[in-house]
């Protein structure tokens, strides 16, 4: 079977030819198998978000290739890649349309890839489905289906962003510290939901986190980046400890 995602010799150079020139990712290669749930760790500035940006297409690598299944995405725009790749960001304000209701946002996510005019038709016929989908979720989202998302709490909005990112099964799910801005209870509820959905749907997922205990608790594989390179890539989580992880971090 083909790997879900292959990054081949990715190098990203920003501000080339200026005094600000910086190589962020350095000839980085990485293969994700279908169903891999990777927790991605590394010090501030190691290149974790840059790696996600190269995958989602918001940053074009200076060199290297991004292959999804049998498709070469390297020259595909961010918008076109969104058909295959979903992402949840750290900021709850990103990822949902604030002047649309929860139900309207869910419908947009469900009809991803269709023309906007067609996407908002038949909202009524999906309401029962959305009620059922949100009923099991934290933060009483099911009681807020007709609320503008701009009026939701950060936790409700992040739960909605996660639901939108997974409502149709993405080929790759990217999570960039998606629970970091939430209070400890809400954060652990959303992480548990994340784990349940990723495991049940057998999603291929890359999740950036700074919390070592979460990196150890969730997923089947741990990757640590340092200065734009992979310094640890292991599925042997049984023998991994927080102390051991810290030895791979830059000082
Ligand atoms: N477009 C850009 N132009 C210039 N420098 C950039 C750009 N994008 C990222 N960088 C720099 O590249 C380095 C890596 O950034 P990146 O955001 O990928 O790190 P990170 O591992 O996600 O860090 P953090 O844990 O702080 O979120 C940082 O030093 C950052 O300042």
- ipTM of this model? 0.95
Residue 148 makes CB contacts below 8 A (sequence gap 6+) with 98, 99, 100, 101
Is the minimum distance from the CB of 47 to ligand 1 under 6 angstroms?
A: yes
Given a contact cutoff of 8 angstroms between Cβ atoms, the answer to whether 33 and 3 are in contact is: yes
Burial of 125 (0-12, 13-18, 19+ CB in 10 A): exposed
CA distance 63 to 33: 23
For ligand 1, atom 26, the nearest C-alpha belongs to 44
Burial of 78 (0-12, 13-18, 19+ CB in 10 A): middle
Tokens of 105: 């946002």
> What mean pLDDT value characterizes the chain?
92
Burial of 85 (0-12, 13-18, 19+ CB in 10 A): buried
Name the residue of 47, 55, 228 whose CB sits within 8 Å of the most ligand 1 atoms, as the mutation to test its pocket.
Answer: 47
- The confidence score (pLDDT) of residue 8 equals 97
Domain 34-58+77-114+122-248: which CATH class? alpha beta
Given a contact cutoff of 8 angstroms between Cβ atoms, the answer to whether 12 and 62 are in contact is: yes
Of residues 70 and 121, more confidently modeled: 70
Q: Please report, for the chain, the start and end positions of each structural domain, with discontinuous segments joined by +.
A: 34-58+77-114+122-248
Is the minimum distance from the CB of 244 to ligand 1 under 6 angstroms?
A: no
Sheet of 28-32: strand order equals 28-32, 5-11, 63-68, 71-72
Cα 228 to averaged position of ligand 1 atoms, centre (Å): 10
Q: What is the mean pLDDT of residues 208-237?
A: 96
The structure's pTM equals: 0.94
pLDDT by residue (tens digit) across 6-18?
Answer: 999 999 999 989 9
pLDDT at 118 over 60: no
DSSP type of residue 177: S
């Amino acid at each position: 079977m083909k790997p879900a995602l292959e990054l081949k010799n990715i190098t990203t150079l920003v501000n080339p030819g200026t005094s600000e020139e910086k190589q962020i990712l350095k000839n980085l290669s990485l293969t994700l198998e279908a169903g891999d749930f990777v927790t991605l760790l590394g010090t501030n500035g190691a290149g974790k978000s840059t790696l996600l940006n190269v995958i989602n297409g918001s940053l074009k690598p200076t060199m290297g290739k991004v292959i999804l299944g049998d498709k070469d995405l390297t020259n595909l725009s961010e918008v076109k890649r969104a058909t295959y790749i979903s992402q949840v960001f750290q900021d709850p304000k990103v990822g949902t349309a604030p002047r649309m209701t929860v139900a309207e946002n869910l419908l947009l996510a469900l009809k991803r890839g269709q023309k906007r005019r067609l996407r908002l038709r038949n909202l009524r016929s999906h309401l029962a489905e959305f009620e059922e989908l949100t009923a099991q979720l934290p933060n009483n989202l099911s009681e807020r289906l007709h609320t503008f998302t701009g009026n939701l709490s950060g936790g409700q909005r992040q739960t909605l962003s996660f639901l939108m990112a997974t409502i149709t099964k993405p080929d790759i799910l990217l999570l960039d510290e998606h629970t970091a801005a939430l209070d400890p209870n809400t954060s652990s509820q959303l992480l548990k939901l994340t784990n349940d959905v990723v495991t049940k749907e057998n999603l291929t997922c890359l999740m950036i986190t700074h919390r070592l205990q979460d990196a150890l608790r969730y997923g089947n594989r741990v990757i640590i980046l340092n200065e734009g390179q992979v310094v640890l890539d292991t599925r042997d989580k049984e023998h991994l400890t927080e102390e051991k992880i810290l030895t791979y971090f830059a000082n």
